[in-house]
């Protein structure tokens, strides 16, 4: 999966199973991990790799750019990524860009948040809510 460097914004490829390693940006050598921002998943393959290979729980936000509640929950997902790193990986799936992934999980309303543990769906929430409520309901 691709991770943006917080220092220089360069895109770096990091295998999901190495998310606990000490990865550095190929361009500026700044530390890439822990992930303190949501990771935008660009392909179904990246989604599969992350959910399957991550040794930590993965919280996925299924969203779309046109969705008002999705825009409201985006800063809350940023807070969760920052506050829960490295114990939880926060990722985002644009349902317009990856409709097959959304369809596979029966996403009918957005935002929908799914927590994956050990490669399997553990919990699901729909709707916009504060980070504290998301964390409480998903038992993060």
Identify the CA nearest to 83 among candidates 135, 138, 136: 135
Q: What is the DSSP string of 40-73?
A: EP-SHHHHHHHHHH-SS-EEEEEE-TT-HHHHHH
Say what the pTM is. 0.85
**In this predicted model, what pLDDT tens digit does every residue of 96-111 receive, in sequence order?**
999 999 999 999 999 9
In the predicted structure, residue 116 carries a pLDDT above the cut 70 = yes
Q: Residue 1 domain-assigned?
A: no
**In this predicted model, what pLDDT tens digit does every residue of 32-56 receive, in sequence order?**
777 788 988 989 999 999 999 888 8
Q: Residue 97 domain-assigned?
A: yes
Identify the CA nearest to 25 among candidates 38, 41, 34, 12: 12
Do 134 and 125 contact (CB within 8 A), yes or no?
Answer: yes
Burial of 78 (0-12, 13-18, 19+ CB in 10 A): middle
Q: Residue 114 domain-assigned?
A: yes
For residue 44, what are the domain limits? 35-138
Q: Which residues are catalytic?
A: 67, 70
Q: The domain spanning residue 113 has which CATH number?
A: 3.40.30.10
Q: Residue 110 domain-assigned?
A: yes
Read off the pLDDT band of 128 (50, 70, 90): very high
Give me the pLDDT at residue 70, please: 96
Q: Which helix (H) or strand (E) holds 89?
A: strand 89-94
Q: Residue 28 domain-assigned?
A: no
Identify the CA nearest to 134 among candidates 40, 65, 60, 64: 60
Read off the pLDDT band of 15 (50, 70, 90): confident
Give me the pLDDT at residue 85, please: 81
The Cα–Cα gap between 25 and 51 comes to 23
Q: Residue 113 domain-assigned?
A: yes
Q: Residue 7 domain-assigned?
A: no
| Domains: count for the chain | 1
């Amino acid at each position: 999966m691709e991770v943006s460097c917080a220092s220089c914004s360069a895109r770096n490829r990091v295998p999901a199973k190495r998310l606990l390693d000490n990865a550095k940006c190929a361009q500026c050598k700044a530390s890439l991990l822990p992930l303190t921002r949501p990771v935008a998943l660009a392909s179904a393959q990246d989604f599969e790799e992350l959910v399957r290979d991550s040794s930590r729980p993965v919280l996925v936000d299924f969203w779309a750019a046109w969705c008002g509640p999705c825009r409201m929950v985006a800063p809350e997902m940023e807070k969760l990524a920052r506050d829960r790193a490295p114990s939880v990986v926060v990722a985002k799936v644009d349902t317009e860009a990856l409709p097959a992934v959304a369809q596979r999980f029966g996403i009918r309303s957005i935002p929908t948040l799914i927590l994956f543990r050990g490669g399997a769906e553990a919990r699901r929430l729909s709707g916009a809510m504060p980070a504290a409520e998301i964390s409480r309901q998903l038992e993060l």
